[in-house]
Chain A
Amino acid sequence: MRTLSELSAGDRGRVTRVGGDADAARRLMEMGLMRGTTVEVIRRAPLGDPLEVRVRGFMLTLRRTEAEHIEVE
């Protein structure tokens, strides 16, 4: 099982699980990133972290620590 943090720029994946910190997970799900959502990694910030992803047509940034708890296929 791969996590969102392992995808490189341009890769797409379908989310299978959103874990980790409960508040972060709830926030991500409110923004529409949840089981079954397709995400595309756009880029990493110049210092390598955070990530920018496209989800449901808009751009979202999240840190690697959060992305590590998001499993994708």
Chain B
Amino acid sequence: MEEAAAGIISAPAAPSPAEAPRGGGVLHVALIGNPNTGKSTLFNALTGMRQRVGNYSGVTVERVEGRYRDADGPVVLLDLPGTYSLSASSPDEEIALAVLTGHADGIGLPDVVIVVVDAANLERNLFLASQVLELGLPTVIALNQVDAAEAAGIRIDAVELTLELGAPVVPIVATRGQGLDVLRSAVRKAIALPRPARQFELPPEAAAALAPLEARLTAAGFSESASGLESLRLLAVQQPGRHVSHVAGLEAAVAKARARIEEAGLHPTSLEAESRYGWIAGVVDNAVHRSRDGARTITDRIDAVMLHRVAGPLIFLLVMAMVFQSIFTWAEPMIGWVEGLFGALGGAVAAALPPGDLNSLIVDGVIAGVGSVLVFLPQITILFLFLGILEDTGYMARAAFIMDRFMRSVGLHGRSFIPLLSGYACAVPGIMATRTIESRKDRLATIMVLPLMSCSARIPIYALLIGTFIPSVAVAGVFNLQGLTLLGMYLLGTVTALLVASIFKRTLLKGQTRPMIMELPPYRLPRPRSLALSVGHRASMFLRKAGTVILALSIVLWALATYPKTDAAPGMSDEQAQEAALAHSALGRMGHVVEPLVAPLGYDWKIGVGILSSFAAREVFVSTMGTIYGVGGDADEGSTTLREKLRAETHAGGAVVYTPLVAVGLMVFYVFAMMCMSTTAVVVRETGGGWAGARWAAFQFAWMLALAYGSALLVYQGGRLMGWG
């Protein structure tokens, strides 16, 4: 039961799986299907909602709801995580099963279920479909990608399949919106149809052995159809899911059923799969017509190169290098535009408003603070675009395939690789994507190290420091020192993540690594529209953060940096006067308090302030710098960029503050430091919630901060010993 602590679903004390009446005439529909069947595409097509379309399991991580309206009224569509079965061996599968049996908190039993099945891959898809049908809920089968199946020589007789399954089958092409009207009306009509039921017969000895177990489950409140599925499931799973944990005497009943089945010469573990696939073989025989077989597909041909023994890893490295390189080379002109825009905006506001505190608040606080973070939107968007393309084409799964052997050497497996890779965008969805990992220890180890993957919030810091202090010189003709430094930061985080994971898996989370069994989906061309939607969605989340948290912090920081005020002493230059005013302010005093702590890292008190304020989120460091260096600036300085100001910054003695060594040390600090409230909140929830989760999160925060401080110290002091700084 511990295995599947998803932290979202908890078993009610007394479950009532009986259909709860729904009010309002709203139809509640659940959407379920295997990964890579186009389920998310169908969800988008039906609801028009902006929902991520992914090519691997774990993308649909949160409870995602959308709405549409048909002739009879509104329909609420609940998108369930992609899953191969209802055996609840991973948190994702547990969610699906809990919703379909009415055990999910706050989500009633759906009125209708749509099962999305891939027409080109009918056999395996029918396994899940037959489990869902057995639950006895009104069900519609959406037979997706019938066009691709026909191109591959597979023709499916939908009428015959409807008769075989006892539920309506609607052929559709979700990507082109074909068949959606028929699907909508079939969903509406499904309620009035006879309920589907189990379609196959178990061997009589097995049925007899299972009868007492089913009776016990029915007595505990399961519907009769759900008990049938549940008893089959319990035979094969090692750890019963949490939603059956309250049933008294369950383990004994399961053990007894297993023993009786073995006595009859049958295998309890394979009973469900063999019975179901035996039935599926008959269905496929009757309803599927193949005109040719075993043709080499485009995917086969692409994989011959992409997964080639020599070319494969090279392509993988090249793809990664290109992504990081392009973050710099493509974004640079766009950054120039955004900087110019904010400079002009600051100048215009400064000229329009009378000099004074309001002028300073808007120009030096809001525009300088928020603008300094927004400047990096182009780079973040490019990263999101590349990750989106890798996901949508199906290359992510190939990357996991290539990397599995390597991942295993640190005690993880390919399945951990995908969440880790999505951590490059943001740790929050990455951590939620770990729900596809079946073993709790593997999952915890992955969550613990995931924030070491350099997320997009670090881009502003890397970009500011690299762009300002690392010279843009060519290396080996093709590469650029700036791009390579950025790649170095990503590698540092990634390699450390793997090392730390390996330490965790050998100590705190010791345990056998689970097997890796994964589908390699066919390659697909990413569709520009869905790609644009997903990049736009992620970019707007970044903008929202800049518009709320960072805006608020910028205003607070501006106030702290402005008050209390002091008069310039006679004979001071403008610059000296600004410096004195800032040092006298509340922020300046805080900075001086932490200065002894950060001085060994080579930082002055201003960087100390930046680190203090970035405990909320890393990119706040950059906006803090924007605010600090914006404070007291003359109107005509509105066009001076933060980069130029940082370069000019000196210690009291005249020595330059930001030597390349300091800049590198600072980046290393942010590679390791766990400074992101959103991630910490998600870690608390995903590691069990409550005190248990809080302890994991606190532990993670502490070791990461210690690692960050220690490494930055090592870089700076070590570098000075070597005479570099």
Name A's B-contacting residues (CB within 8 A).
18, 21-32, 34-35, 42-50, 52, 56-63, 65-66
Question: Is there an interface contact between A27 and B89, defined as CB atoms closer than 8 Å?
Answer: yes
Interface-central residue, A21, A50, A52, by most chain B CB under 10 Å = A50
Q: Which residues of chain B in 74-128 are interfacial with respect to chain A, using CB atoms and an 8 Å cutoff?
A: 84-85, 87, 89, 120-121, 123-124, 127
Partner of B515, one of A45, A48, A66: A66
Q: Which residues of A contact B413 (CB under 8 A)?
A: 63
B19 within 8 Å of A (CB atoms): no
Name B's A-contacting residues (CB within 8 A).
84-85, 87, 89, 120-121, 123-124, 127, 236-238, 269-270, 273-274, 277, 299-300, 303, 307-310, 312-313, 401-402, 404-406, 408, 413-414, 438, 514-521
Question: Is there an interface contact between A49 and B308, defined as CB atoms closer than 8 Å?
Answer: no
Q: Which residues of B contact A42 (CB under 8 A)?
A: 300, 303
Question: Is there an interface contact between A23 and B307, defined as CB atoms closer than 8 Å?
Answer: no
Closest B residue to A58 by CB, please name it.
Answer: B121
**How far apart are the CA atoms of A28 and B89 in the complex, in Å?**
13
Question: Is there an interface contact between B307 and A52, defined as CB atoms closer than 8 Å?
Answer: yes
Interface pairs A-B: 10 shortest CB-CB: A29-B273, A47-B405, A24-B515, A59-B520, A30-B85, A56-B123, A26-B236, A46-B312, A32-B124, A66-B515
Q: Which residues of B contact A30 (CB under 8 A)?
A: 84-85, 87, 127, 273
Partner of A32, one of B123, B236, B310, B520: B123
In whole Å, how far is A36's beta carbon from the nearest beta carbon of chain B?
A: 8
Q: Which residues of A contact B406 (CB under 8 A)?
A: 47
**How far apart are the CA atoms of A45 and B307 in the complex, in Å?**
7
Closest B residue to A52 by CB, please name it.
Answer: B520
Q: Which residues of A contact B124 (CB under 8 A)?
A: 31-32, 56-58
Given contacts A29-B270, A35-B274, A63-B404, whether A46 and B517 have CB atoms under 8 Å apart is: no
Q: What are 7 sample pairs from A and B whose C-beta atoms fall under 8 A apart?
A: A22-B269, A31-B84, A47-B313, A49-B408, A50-B414, A52-B303, A59-B520
**How far apart are the CA atoms of A22 and B470 in the complex, in Å?**
54
Given contacts A34-B273, A50-B404, A52-B401, whether A58 and B519 have CB atoms under 8 Å apart is: yes
Question: Is there an interface contact between A26 and B237, defined as CB atoms closer than 8 Å?
Answer: yes
Q: Which residues of B contact A34 (CB under 8 A)?
A: 270, 273-274, 277
**How far apart are the CA atoms of A20 and B518 in the complex, in Å?**
17
Q: Which residues of B contact A52 (CB under 8 A)?
A: 303, 307, 401, 520
Question: Is there an interface contact between B515 and A49, defined as CB atoms closer than 8 Å?
Answer: no
**How far apart are the CA atoms of A35 and B517 in the complex, in Å?**
17
Question: Is there an interface contact between A21 and B270, defined as CB atoms closer than 8 Å?
Answer: no
Question: Is there an interface contact between A57 and B519, defined as CB atoms closer than 8 Å?
Answer: no
Closest A residue to B316 by CB, please name it.
Answer: A46
Given contacts A30-B87, A45-B405, whether A63 and B274 have CB atoms under 8 Å apart is: no
Given contacts A23-B514, A32-B124, A58-B121, whether A46 and B273 have CB atoms under 8 Å apart is: no
Partner of A21, one of B121, B127, B237, B515: B515
Question: Is there an interface contact between A32 and B127, defined as CB atoms closer than 8 Å?
Answer: yes
**How far apart are the CA atoms of A61 and B394 in the complex, in Å?**
14
In whole Å, how far is A34's beta carbon from the nearest beta carbon of chain B?
A: 5
Partner of A28, one of B402, B414, B517: B517
Taking A50-B516, A63-B413, A66-B515 as known contacts, 11 extra A-B pairs with beta carbons closer than 8 A to each other, sorted by chain A number, are A23-B89, A23-B438, A34-B274, A42-B300, A46-B308, A50-B404, A50-B414, A59-B521, A61-B401, A61-B517, A61-B518
**How far apart are the CA atoms of A63 and B413 in the complex, in Å?**
10
Given contacts A26-B237, A47-B405, A63-B516, whether A35 and B270 have CB atoms under 8 Å apart is: yes
Q: Which residues of B contact A25 (CB under 8 A)?
A: 269-270
Question: Is there an interface contact between B515 and A57, defined as CB atoms closer than 8 Å?
Answer: no
Closest B residue to A69 by CB, please name it.
Answer: B515
Q: Which residues of A contact B89 (CB under 8 A)?
A: 23, 26-27
Closest B residue to A62 by CB, please name it.
Answer: B517
Q: Which residues of A contact B310 (CB under 8 A)?
A: 46
Question: Is there an interface contact between A60 and B270, defined as CB atoms closer than 8 Å?
Answer: no
Given contacts A22-B238, A35-B270, A50-B405, whether A61 and B514 have CB atoms under 8 Å apart is: no
**How far apart are the CA atoms of A2 and B274 in the complex, in Å?**
22
In whole Å, how far is A52's beta carbon from the nearest beta carbon of chain B?
A: 6
Question: Is there an interface contact between A46 and B307, defined as CB atoms closer than 8 Å?
Answer: yes
In whole Å, how far is B403's beta carbon from the nearest beta carbon of chain A?
A: 9
In whole Å, how far is B413's beta carbon from the nearest beta carbon of chain A?
A: 8
Question: Is there an interface contact between A48 and B405, defined as CB atoms closer than 8 Å?
Answer: yes
Interface-central residue, A35, A44, A61, by most chain B CB under 10 Å = A61
Question: Is there an interface contact between A61 and B269, defined as CB atoms closer than 8 Å?
Answer: no
Partner of B518, one of A24, A32, A56, A60: A60
**How far apart are the CA atoms of A31 and B14 in the complex, in Å?**
33
Interface-central residue, A24, A31, A60, by most chain B CB under 10 Å = A31
**How far apart are the CA atoms of A27 and B312 in the complex, in Å?**
28
Closest A residue to B270 by CB, please name it.
Answer: A29
In whole Å, how far is B223's beta carbon from the nearest beta carbon of chain A?
A: 23
**How far apart are the CA atoms of A48 and B402 in the complex, in Å?**
9
Interface-central residue, A44, A49, A59, by most chain B CB under 10 Å = A59
**How far apart are the CA atoms of A38 and B408 in the complex, in Å?**
28
Interface-central residue, B87, B274, B401, by most chain A CB under 10 Å = B401
Question: Is there an interface contact between A45 and B404, defined as CB atoms closer than 8 Å?
Answer: yes
**How far apart are the CA atoms of A66 and B517 in the complex, in Å?**
9
**How far apart are the CA atoms of A28 and B406 in the complex, in Å?**
23
**How far apart are the CA atoms of A63 and B85 in the complex, in Å?**
21
Given contacts A56-B124, A63-B404, whether A43 and B515 have CB atoms under 8 Å apart is: no
Q: Which residues of B contact A46 (CB under 8 A)?
A: 307-310, 312-313, 402
In whole Å, how far is B242's beta carbon from the nearest beta carbon of chain A?
A: 17
Question: Is there an interface contact between B277 and A63, defined as CB atoms closer than 8 Å?
Answer: no
**How far apart are the CA atoms of A62 and B517 in the complex, in Å?**
5
Q: Which residues of B contact A32 (CB under 8 A)?
A: 123-124, 127, 277
In whole Å, how far is B285's beta carbon from the nearest beta carbon of chain A?
A: 14
**How far apart are the CA atoms of A34 and B408 in the complex, in Å?**
26
Closest A residue to B406 by CB, please name it.
Answer: A47
Question: Is there an interface contact between A45 and B520, defined as CB atoms closer than 8 Å?
Answer: no
